[in-house]
Structure 1
């Protein structure tokens, strides 16, 4: 069979505008159907996943993929990914420092497609930035995806992201395509990689790992809804190397709430903190963050509440980096980070 990328240069149709993609997702959520496709384009059986019923505009569920292929003139799912990366960058990237937009379109093992983009924060360190590839992985995990098949990008993935991908189930054989280079697999892009098995005898992987069982400290009392969200995200953390799970939940002035889990990396530095994962969730749903680049059709509500959940005796604490990012997004306001201390269930 020919390479799934052999029609990637087909530019008979441009990706739709942000409003167009959001409109299609809305139609899908109200029950519109799409024509079926052959098994060499989509998996014969689609694992049951939250992605298939997601209302997130940055997710195209499996049932909508054939319609998008027809609309954009894509001959395979992977060429559809290539056509979607510019849209991902234009719609979701928020790089107020570099003004350099990066877009990603990823195909999950469920058959769903996830869009991602880079995010930067003013008035804090560059190390707080979210890479587009991390955006996509965090979104996939939060939506209940079960693995990663292929990925298209606007630019070559940096070493940081090539390392971060080592944590993801299915990534070792993941197909990667970016401008100016033939399709490759991750092992070609990072040979002789430092992998999770170098630190952990039987490492769990993102999208296939076990959850933590956490309980709130006795003095926390009854949890409010935002604290409960942060606790749930902490339980979903990927933290096999430090056993220090954490989660963040955010509330905006329009009442919307988003949460994110901690995604640890064996190389430590490429780890994605829970604050950034929560921000990914908000941006994927159309929130344009303060200090970011406003996109047409997005909302820009103020951030009014934030909760960080982590272990009472955490050897690795997310409090300082979370407070730094929170401060960068709430300049001129008095929003304070609330801490929820928990323990591993005995």
Structure 2
């Protein structure tokens, strides 16, 4: 999944009154980890490190569609809705809680109510359960690690392998329960993909209907990548008018094949329109930029993903969304000198000889 840095949302911190309710039969928790994914592999491993001081907003709507819960947690700080004794030491399938649990990079919000009903909200139904959205206020990310969220196969994102689970006994973190539903008799903890990558919303959660006595906890991990050092890039307009620069940069890969011909590359970079045509234009341009100047791991990963979808004619792939990210990359270093500008533009290079006159 790719989340644009342009979609930063302002976090709204409300008073603890919304969450300071008495313990009830069915409590829900949303939380987990915000970290720097240094190798952009979608997993919290290796040299990756947690990010403290990042604001994460949890907003829930009731069965009538009205917002009935809204609160902001800060990673590394215990949210007032969670008691210290309920914070698991390892946040993994290991028994025991600890008041001195490792909070680094972690956020957790408890949404409390009787049998799944939040204070002041309509009770959920099987057809219209509570919907909760998790949003990172990306303005609170450190400058050294505020790149794109790394794509992870499947949702919700689970970068450190904790999984999503229902715990019918205690909580908020698992002590060996099966990932997903705790058992066939318990309510499902459902997670659905976010409506789109441009608004910063990571995952939408559905909580169970009343009468289903379970504790439902769902994880949403956010793995941001280190900010890439800005380097030269060139737009489609540059490449399609500078054939010698294209010739010096080929070959590149596109849509399951290797592009070796200058006019073939220029034709692809000159595609007009949106959707797959926009992806063609910006993917070929990005491939030339990566070959000429180098590019980040996330751009390389997006090119590989999009090219594979193109080669397999995957109609479900969001070619327009990928094109938008690649367009941003292709324009990011357009003003930085690259040495390729010494060649004069030659827009008629690939035209038949009769048209060049």
TM-score using structure 2 length = 0.24
Task: Please state which structure has a larger fraction of its residues in helix.
Answer: 1
Larger Rg belongs to:
2
What is the TM-score of this pair, normalised by structure 1? 0.24
